Amino acid sequence: MKEGLATDGAEPLLVANSISRRFISGGRRVTALDDVSITLSAGETLGLLGPSGSGKSTLARVITRLIEPDAGEVSFAGQDWLGLKGSALRRQRRLMQMVFQDPLGAFNPRASVLSAITDPLRIHRLAPRGQWRMRANALLDRVQLPASLLDRGIGEISGGQRQRVALARALACEPRLIVLDEAVSALDVSIRGQILDLLVELQRQDGLAYLFVSHDLAVVKAVAHRVAIMDAGRIVETGPTGRVIAQPSSPMARALIAAVPRLHQERPR
């Protein structure tokens, strides 16, 4: 499904270096991230894989500035991402978007599809008001949804359609990186495959980078150029997806592979 990636020695789009984050839970100090480092190039998909509680979603939220790390550095598009504040951060935020596992929870449930998609155009002043509906139509077309959905409520459309609307809203911001946190795990198998194909096509068209967070190795195998395996707040293995699957070196990678029956047999498409 995925296509090959040539970075031609370019500087990485995203560099997270020595990220640590701890929480207090039940009176105990819990380490969610322990000295985690990753890089991601323009046009590349990095699969962030691990079991529940391994720290992958916490890392995604640190990278998107939804939570702050206790230590570490993040560079995005050549800037000190963690150092940005106020209006400077707001200006740059549109370049890094996030799509969540629960598309309904990510929207105002009373919003229309039109308002959900055009909010970024309004907030970031990316188009005059008179062009909003036209732009929303074009964005729905890009995610393979009919324009007739524009005036429907978010709660009136299916889960697969909502996830496509979430992608359309992210694309409205003209991002360079989209972080997908278990973005297809709640969808049935047939819809999941369609969304994965769509992500690959959008990446081909726009040169998008994806940080693809998942517990499902079969899904990551379909879209990721590289994979980073997490366990107990640390990255325990990283490398090209095919190599990690064929020759895993960490116990966690071997356990994830063993949990997927017939992983090496391609699903008929």
Whichever domain contains 179, its CATH number is 3.40.50.300
Domain that holds residue 132: 109-174
- Binned at pLDDT 50, 70 and 90, residue 106 comes out as confident
> What is the total count of domains within the chain?
2
Do 151 and 222 share a structural domain?
Answer: no
Question: What local confidence, expressed as pLDDT, does residue 9 receive?
Answer: 56
Is the same domain home to 158 and 34?
Answer: no
pLDDT given for residue 267 in this prediction: 45
Asked if residue 69 has pLDDT above 60, the reply is yes
From 122, 139, 174, the end of a domain falls on 174
Q: pLDDT tier at 204 (50, 70, 90 boundaries)?
A: very high
Residue 264 lies in a domain: no
Asked if residue 150 and residue 128 are part of one domain, the reply reads yes
Q: Tell which of 131, 152, 174 closes a domain.
A: 174
Residues 30 and 137 in one domain: no
Residue 173 reports pLDDT greater than 80: yes
Residues 80, 32 share a domain:
yes
Residues 32 and 79 in one domain: yes
Whether residues 185 and 170 fall in one domain: no
Residue from 9, 10, 13, 22 nearest 72 by CA: 22
Once rounded to an integer, what is the mean pLDDT over residues 136-147?
Answer: 92
Q: Are residues 204 and 244 in the same domain?
A: yes
pTM of the full predicted structure? Answer: 0.89
Last residue of one domain, picked from the residues 124, 146, 174: 174
Residue 148 in any domain: the answer is yes
Confidence label for 263 from pLDDT (cuts 50, 70 and 90): very low
CA distance 203 to 197: 10
Which has more confidence, 205 or 101?
A: 205
User: In terms of domains, do 190 and 160 share one?
Assistant: no
Residue at 269 is within a domain: no
Statement to judge: residues 210 and 155 lie in one domain = no
Angle 132-142/113-123 helices, nearest 10 degrees? 110
Does 250 lie in the same domain as 193?
Answer: yes
Residue 143 lies in a domain: yes
pLDDT the model gives residue 176: 96
252: in domain: yes
Residue 103 lies inside a defined structural domain of this protein: no
Q: Is residue 73 domain-shared with residue 179, that is, in the same domain?
A: yes
Whether 9 is in a domain gets the answer no
More confident residue, 196 or 70: 70
Domain contains 251: yes
Q: Taking residues 196-200, what's their average pLDDT?
A: 89
pLDDT at 11 over 90: no
Mean pLDDT of the chain: 88
